[in-house]
């Protein structure tokens, strides 16, 4: 009898009574143990027995199995951490212990292939589907191993490879391939071992083989880059250019191909341009590689996606169709995906009474912005309502409905509704209805509200006058007080019945990104989400792709946001500073180009090929990005506390102390928060994040490096856009070097920056004019005026804190302290003076004083020049600014004012030349 006949015979003896059947099956296992199909029969009987065990026994076995798995996962996590540290010898010792466990299981006959079943370690449905399709003629069952053989052998091979033990790495990776033959990462590493051993032809063969099961566009791109490498080694330059360039069709968000093309250009001086499609077809036929994704891979992804959708398995449908769309960008696939997302959405019109009925439970999710409506929004809302209410009183029947836009809710378990859009409006109407209930002596029949942003109790918050809830309650209470008491019930009836919303309900299966897309596609009267709000949602979705624990992740992101906003005097530190610093960190850890430094956060994170729309870079696979994000937030908070409470309360080096702010006005303001990145990398490289670590050494390093940065950038402030790209590229190479942290050798950073200036084919005339001819570029005027102010403070005891707040932040905190740029010699009276727009003739002056002065002198003409100066001197005495006081102390009324301005200008330009030092010397020679 064959296997099927034997198993049918055994099954015919089952009675349906578990105890008897278990005993019977054990007897059959003993009976057939020496049979040629004994292994297969014993395993099949074992599977039958497992289905008959009592629940408590099943749970006991499951718990034991989970415990074993958890131990292995912990060991793998520990191995990942060691690999991140770069200690491959230590990692080797750890992985060898895991390999030993794997070999013991194999020796014991666990998970071994037999004539009935084959065992694998596929990590996702697509891999299993591809293998099954490619071996569809096999009659064997595909069974999944619960032990991570493939992962262990993969890391074993990687570590051996890094240690230069290529032959051993090849053997280990071959074992990894046996356990997961459909994993492109394993296959690529296996091919790399042949490249390292000099067997370039086998490297080519395995690369072409990967095309057959690559189901990600980035893997296809790597295949073409591998082909490019092969052709470079063969000095077949046209083929190499064609393949490297063609790889960009599948992954343009990497510098790998650009680097190879640059190498070819430098080596051969050939023109780098895309090969015509006919040329690509010729190369394809000649060398045996495809030009499109494998049609079986695409066909399977589409077929299983459509089939899953038809059977109501939307999650599987989205999984497979997303694979197909990534490979093809077919419109029909995108349409199917859009239809699946829309299935999760329903909408209906609701009155205010419907929305705020007591049977509902609302959750304000952690990614929402806090309740921020203020007096302006409350007044707009109440004015609109009251005008319509007056019509209602005159003609109740004919008054039209008052539409208050679209509300969006996520339907979650236990029948709660998560507020996606409408938080501000719902909360405001909640407060208004609670006031009315109180005035009318009615029970407060409002829904329960759980606030996950800060876990605030909304009822308590409404009665707390220090919160926005309490402040708005006072405003709404005042509004309600203006309604005649006899009309209160009518008013309540009016808002309940005549205020309408369109409510959209999205099922819990929809991704947060889908909810965001819905939000972006509609226009409501609520507050619009900006980059920092969108980031929360996208970041959560990005790192929780395979996790359902999104609420806790969103809570952590929101806590990080609130942390950087927790300081009353924060030197303009907010969520955008946090995002900038995180962006710089990501750039430092990946191969992204220097151009990413000048991108906005919106473009870097959300662009079609931005960070959140691209696969996770290899360099970040083992990095806990959420932990990094939280650490950056903690670092910013600690830095600000240290600056405001310690460092900046002293005088010291004022220019270094203002380095971040000066970078912000250097013409390259998008680099301003490099300062915090430079602090952060010192913390993480010193393993200091969890302790108090910000000290004068850390701050000194960050300030000196930031000073070099604003000095370097300001030299190019008047440059053409074609130069700007090189500026950012140079900064990326010097400040984000993989092999050297800039704070370790600040002088070396300075030397490298100067070398780039010396090589630069640019005359720097714009900057030279600033110093030699006092001709200012608008982008640098504020920078040099700020430096001039700091120069005026150097002989005083002014603290860094006072200087920063005076020049950079006073207008944020107190509008009357806002500064204007004062021309000492007015344009209208001294238009022919060569110094009228020079640094010597400019200084900051409080805006209130400047406006008063302008009104006093506006009618003076050239014959009144002396009167103009005398009037100005009197008004200058009202100023509290150090630069104005310095001017008054140094100006001798017996001297000609124009001569004094000329002398002052000479002193200021010499100050700037000395400040720029070696930078100025280089551009002076070049100009």
The phi and psi torsions of 678 (rounded to 5 degrees) equal -65, -30
| Residue 263 maps to a domain | no
Of 369-383, 563-577, 602-616, 703-717, the poorest mean pLDDT is in 563-577
Express each pLDDT in 68-110 by its tens digit.
566 788 788 788 777 766 678 888 999 999 999 889 888 877 7
Express each pLDDT in 396-421 by its tens digit.
877 888 989 888 888 876 678 888 88
The phi and psi torsions of 796 (rounded to 5 degrees) equal -110, -175
d(CA 666, CA 654): 17
DSSP 8-state code for residue 12: T
Of 668-677, 821-830, 885-894, the poorest mean pLDDT is in 885-894
pLDDT at 338 (0 to 100): 81
Question: Which residues 6+ apart lie within 8 Å of 676 measured at CB?
Answer: 577, 580, 581, 632, 635, 636, 639, 660, 702
pLDDT at residue 523 is higher than 50: no
Please give the C-alpha separations between residue 900 and each of 351, 813, 890, 896, 904, in angstroms, as whole numbers. 73, 35, 9, 6, 6
Question: Which residues 6+ apart lie within 8 Å of 694 measured at CB?
Answer: 635, 638, 639, 641, 642, 679, 683
546 and 509 part of one domain: no
Question: Which residues 6+ apart lie within 8 Å of 273 measured at CB?
Answer: 241, 245
427 and 484 part of one domain: yes
Express each pLDDT in 551-563 by its tens digit.
678 778 888 888 8
72 and 31 part of one domain: no
pLDDT at residue 475 is higher than 80: yes
Distance of CA 155 to the CA centre of its chain: 28
State the angle between helix axes of 696-715 and 674-685 in degrees (0 to 180), rounded to the nearest 10.
140
pLDDT at 519 (0 to 100): 47
The phi and psi torsions of 525 (rounded to 5 degrees) equal -90, 5
482 and 544 part of one domain: no
On whether the CB atoms of residues 214 and 246 are closer than 8 A, the answer is no
Cα angle value 204/244/332 (rounded, 5°): 100
| Residue 335 maps to a domain | yes
| Residue 13 maps to a domain | yes
| Residue 219 maps to a domain | no
- CB burial string 518-531: b at 16+ within 10 A, e below: bbeeeebebeebeb
561 and 432 part of one domain: no
| pLDDT higher at 722 or 63 | 63
On whether the CB atoms of residues 579 and 603 are closer than 8 A, the answer is no
785 and 749 part of one domain: no
Q: How many separate domains does the chain show?
A: 6
- Residue whose pair of structure tokens reads 């009935």 in the numeric block: 116
Please state the rounded mean pLDDT for residues 126-154: 90
| Residue 452 maps to a domain | yes
| Residue 775 maps to a domain | no
| pLDDT higher at 37 or 676 | 676
572 and 518 part of one domain: no
- What CATH number has the domain bearing residue 108? 1.25.40.10
On whether the CB atoms of residues 63 and 70 are closer than 8 A, the answer is no
Beta strands per DSSP E along 695-815:
none
pLDDT at residue 434 is higher than 90: yes
pLDDT at residue 568 is higher than 80: no
d(CA 3, CA 140): 12
Express each pLDDT in 190-213 by its tens digit.
999 999 999 999 999 999 999 999
Candidate ranges 276-285, 395-404, 525-534, 561-570; pick with highest mean pLDDT:
276-285
| Residue 227 maps to a domain | no
Please state the rounded mean pLDDT for residues 843-857: 86
336 and 356 part of one domain: no
On whether the CB atoms of residues 426 and 407 are closer than 8 A, the answer is yes
pLDDT at residue 16 is higher than 50: yes
pLDDT at residue 858 is higher than 80: no
How many secondary structure helices (H) and strands (E) does the chain include? 44, 10
- Residue ranges of the alpha helices (H) in 808-890? 810-813, 847-857, 865-876, 882-890
329 and 196 part of one domain: no
On whether the CB atoms of residues 19 and 2 are closer than 8 A, the answer is no
Q: What percent of the chain has pLDDT over 70?
A: 87
Of 256-265, 673-682, 786-795, the poorest mean pLDDT is in 256-265
pLDDT band of residue 459 (cuts 50, 70, 90) is: confident
Of 479-488, 709-718, 788-797, 902-911, the poorest mean pLDDT is in 709-718
498 and 350 part of one domain: yes
Domain range holding 48?
Answer: 3-53
Distance of CA 26 to the CA centre of its chain: 57
Question: Which residues 6+ apart lie within 8 Å of 427 measured at CB?
Answer: 371, 373, 458, 469
pLDDT at residue 433 is higher than 90: yes
Please give the C-alpha separations between residue 571 and each of 560, 565, 633, 758, in angstroms, as whole numbers. 17, 11, 15, 36
- Mean pLDDT over the full length of the chain: 84
| pLDDT higher at 315 or 160 | 160
Please give the C-alpha separations between residue 253 and each of 226, 264, 604, 613, in angstroms, as whole numbers. 17, 20, 11, 10
| DSSP letters spanning 564-591 | HT--SS-TT--HHHHHHHHHHHHHHHS-
Please state the rounded mean pLDDT for residues 868-880: 89
pLDDT at residue 761 is higher than 70: no
| Residue 250 maps to a domain | no
pLDDT at residue 548 is higher than 80: no
d(CA 793, CA 488): 63
Among 310, 343, 376, where does a domain finish? 343
Candidate ranges 535-539, 549-553, 566-570; pick with highest mean pLDDT:
535-539
d(CA 294, CA 213): 7
360 and 320 part of one domain: no
On whether the CB atoms of residues 323 and 126 are closer than 8 A, the answer is yes
Among 498, 522, 546, where does a domain finish? 522
d(CA 17, CA 464): 67
668 and 789 part of one domain: no
Please state the rounded mean pLDDT for residues 269-289: 91
Express each pLDDT in 209-228 by its tens digit.
999 999 999 999 999 999 99
- Residue whose pair of structure tokens reads 């309740």 in the numeric block: 371
pLDDT at 269 (0 to 100): 82
Per-residue HEC secondary structure of 170-194 comes to HHHHHHHHHHCCCCHHHHHHHHHHH
For the four alpha carbons of 264, 266, 268 and 271, in that order, the dihedral sign comes to positive
Cα angle value 463/497/432 (rounded, 5°): 10
Express each pLDDT in 694-712 by its tens digit.
888 999 999 999 999 999 9
Cα Rg of the chain, angstroms: 35
Among 500, 522, 544, where does a domain finish? 522
Express each pLDDT in 235-252 by its tens digit.
999 999 999 999 989 987
pLDDT band of residue 230 (cuts 50, 70, 90) is: very high
pLDDT at 54 (0 to 100): 66
On whether the CB atoms of residues 157 and 172 are closer than 8 A, the answer is yes
Helix (H) or strand (E) holding 451: strand 448-451
d(CA 76, CA 926): 56
Express each pLDDT in 318-348 by its tens digit.
999 999 999 998 988 988 988 887 776 777 8
On whether the CB atoms of residues 787 and 776 are closer than 8 A, the answer is no
């Amino acid at each position: 009898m064959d296997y099927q006949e034997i198993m049918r015979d055994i099954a015919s003896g089952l009675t349906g009574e578990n105890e008897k059947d278990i005993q019977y099956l054990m007897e059959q296992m003993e009976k057939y143990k020496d049979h040629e199909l004994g292994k297969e029969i014993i395993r099949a009987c074992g599977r039958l027995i497992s289905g008959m065990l009592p629940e408590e026994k099943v749970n006991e076995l499951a718990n034991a199995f989970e415990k074993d798995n958890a131990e292995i996962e912990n060991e793998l996590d520990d191995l990942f951490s060691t690999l991140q540290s770069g200690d491959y010898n230590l990692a080797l010792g750890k992985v060898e212990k895991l390999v030993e466990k794997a070999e013991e299981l194999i020796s014991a006959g666990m998970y071994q292939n037999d004539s009935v079943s084959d065992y694998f370690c596929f990590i996702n449905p697509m891999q299993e589907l591809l293998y099954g399709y490619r071996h569809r003629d096999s009659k064997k069952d595909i069974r999944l191993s619960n032990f991570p053989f493939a992962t262990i052998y993969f890391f074993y091979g990687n570590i051996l490879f890094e240690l230069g033990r290529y032959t051993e790495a090849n053997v280990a990776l071959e074992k990894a391939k046996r356990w997961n033959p459909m994993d492109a990462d394993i296959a690529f590493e296996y091919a790399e071992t042949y490249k390292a051993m000099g067997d370039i032809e086998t490297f080519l063969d395995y690369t072409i083989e990967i095309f057959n099961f690559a189901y990600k566009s980035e893997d296809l791109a790597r295949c073409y880059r591998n082909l490019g490498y092969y052709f470079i080694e063969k000095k077949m330059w046209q083929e190499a250019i064609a393949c490297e360039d063609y790889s960009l069709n599948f992954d343009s968000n990497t510098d790998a191909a650009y680097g190879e093309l640059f190498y070819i250009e430098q080596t051969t001086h050939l023109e780098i341009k895309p090969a015509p499609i006919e040329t690509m077809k010729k190369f394809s036929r000649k060398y045996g590689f495809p030009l499109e994704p494998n049609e079986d891979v695409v066909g399977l992804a589409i077929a299983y996606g459509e089939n899953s959708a038809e059977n109501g398995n939307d999650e599987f449908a989205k999984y497979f169709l997303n694979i197909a769309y990534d490979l093809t960008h077919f419109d029909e696939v995108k349409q199917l995906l859009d239809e699946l997302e829309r299935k999760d959405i329903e909408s209906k019109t609701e009155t205010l009474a419907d929305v705020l009925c007591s049977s509902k439970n609302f959750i304000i999710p952690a990614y929402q912005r806090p309740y921020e409506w203020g007096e302006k929004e409350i007044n707009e809302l109440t004015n609109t309502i009251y005008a319509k209410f007056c019509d209602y009183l005159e003609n109740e029947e004919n008054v039209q409905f008052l539409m208050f836009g679209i509300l969006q809710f996520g339907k979650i378990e236990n029948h709660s509704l998560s507020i996606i859009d409408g938080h501000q409006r719902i909360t405001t109407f909640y407060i208004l209805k609670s006031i009315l209930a109180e005035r009318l002596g009615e029970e407060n029949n409002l829904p329960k509200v759980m606030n996950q942003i800060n876990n605030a109790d909304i009822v308590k918050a409404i009665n707390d006058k220090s919160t926005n809830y309490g402040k708005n309650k006072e405003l709404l209470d005042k509004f309600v007080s203006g309604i005649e008491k006899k009309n209160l019930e009518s008013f309540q009836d009016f808002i309940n019945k005549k205020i309408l919303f369109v409510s959209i309900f999205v099922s819990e299966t929809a991704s947060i990104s889908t909810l965001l897309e819905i939000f972006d596609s509609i226009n409501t009267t609520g507050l619009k989400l900006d980059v920092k709000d969108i980031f929360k949602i996208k970041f959560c979705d990005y790192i929780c792709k395979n996790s359902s624990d999104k609420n806790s992740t969103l809570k952590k992101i929101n806590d990080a946001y609130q942390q950087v906003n927790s300081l009353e005097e924060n030197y303009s530190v907010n969520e955008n500073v946090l995002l900038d610093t995180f962006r710089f960190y990501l750039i430092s850890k990946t191969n992204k180009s220097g151009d990413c430094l000048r991108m906005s956060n919106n473009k870097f994170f959300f662009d079609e090929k931005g960070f959140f729309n691209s696969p996770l870079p290899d360099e970040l696979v083992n990095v806990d990005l959420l932990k990094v994000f939280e650490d950056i937030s903690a670092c910013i908070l600690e830095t600000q506390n240290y600056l405001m409470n310690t460092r900046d309360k002293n005088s010291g080096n004022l220019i270094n102390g203002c380095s971040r702010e000066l970078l912000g006005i250097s013409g390259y303001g998008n680099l301003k928060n490099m300062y915090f990145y430079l602090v952060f990398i010192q913390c993480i490289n010193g393993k200091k994040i969890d302790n108090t670590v910000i000290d004068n050494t850390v701050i000194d390093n960050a300030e000196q490096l930031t000073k070099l940065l604003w000095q370097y950038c300001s030299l190019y402030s008047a440059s053409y856009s074609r130069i700007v790209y090189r500026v950012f590229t140079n900064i990326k190479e010097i400040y984000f070097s993989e092999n050297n942290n800039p704070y370790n050798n600040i002088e070396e950073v300075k030397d490298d920056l100067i070398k780039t200036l010396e090589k630069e084919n640019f005359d720097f005339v714009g900057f030279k004019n600033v110093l030699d001819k006092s001709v200012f570029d608008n982008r640098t005027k504020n920078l040099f005026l700020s430096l001039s102010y700091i120069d005026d403070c150097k002989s005083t005891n002014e603290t860094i804190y006072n200087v920063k707040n005076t020049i950079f932040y006073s207008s944020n905190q107190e509008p009357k302290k806002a500064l204007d740029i004062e021309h000492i010699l007015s344009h209208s009276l001294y238009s022919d003076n060569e110094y009228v727009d020079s640094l010597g003739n400019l200084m900051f002056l409080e805006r209130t004083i400047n406006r008063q002065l302008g009104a006093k002198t506006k009618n003076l003409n050239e014959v009144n020049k002396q009167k103009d100066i005398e009037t100005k001197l009197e008004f200058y005495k009202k100023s509290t600014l150090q630069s104005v006081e310095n001017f008054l102390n140094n100006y001798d009324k017996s001297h000609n004012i124009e001569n004094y301005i000329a002398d002052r200008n000479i002193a200021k330009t010499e100050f700037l030349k000395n400040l720029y030092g070696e930078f100025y010397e280089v551009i002076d020679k070049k100009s």
